[in-house]
Amino acid sequence: MNAEDLRSKTIDELAKIILDLRKEQFNARFQKAQGSLENTAQIRKNRRDIARAKTILNNKRREENASGKKAA
């Protein structure tokens, strides 16, 4: 998932994406503990995608708050 795709999403969509990524991360960690995870790089990719999505989400929330305070 790249940053350009995430920037085009709304705040609610980003929150849902983060939730889905966290579920994937949990499942991957569980599979790793059982020894059935084939692609170990998936854990690292999920962690970075979550961080990327959270960064963009925080930026969008900050912009929304800043624009709301200026208009008021």
Query: pLDDT (tens digit, 9 = 90+) per residue, 17-61?
Result: 999 999 999 999 999 999 999 999 999 999 999 999 999 999 999
Q: 10 Å Cβ neighbour count for 17?
A: 21
Rounded to 5, what percent of the chain is helix, strand, coil?
85, 0, 15
pLDDT at 69: 76
pLDDT at 1: 80
pLDDT at 10: 95
- Longest CA pairwise span in the chain (Å): 56
Average pLDDT over residues 8-23: 96
Average pLDDT over residues 68-72: 68
Which residues lie closer than 8 Å to 72 by C-beta, 6 or more apart? none
| pLDDT of residue 14 exceeding 60 | yes
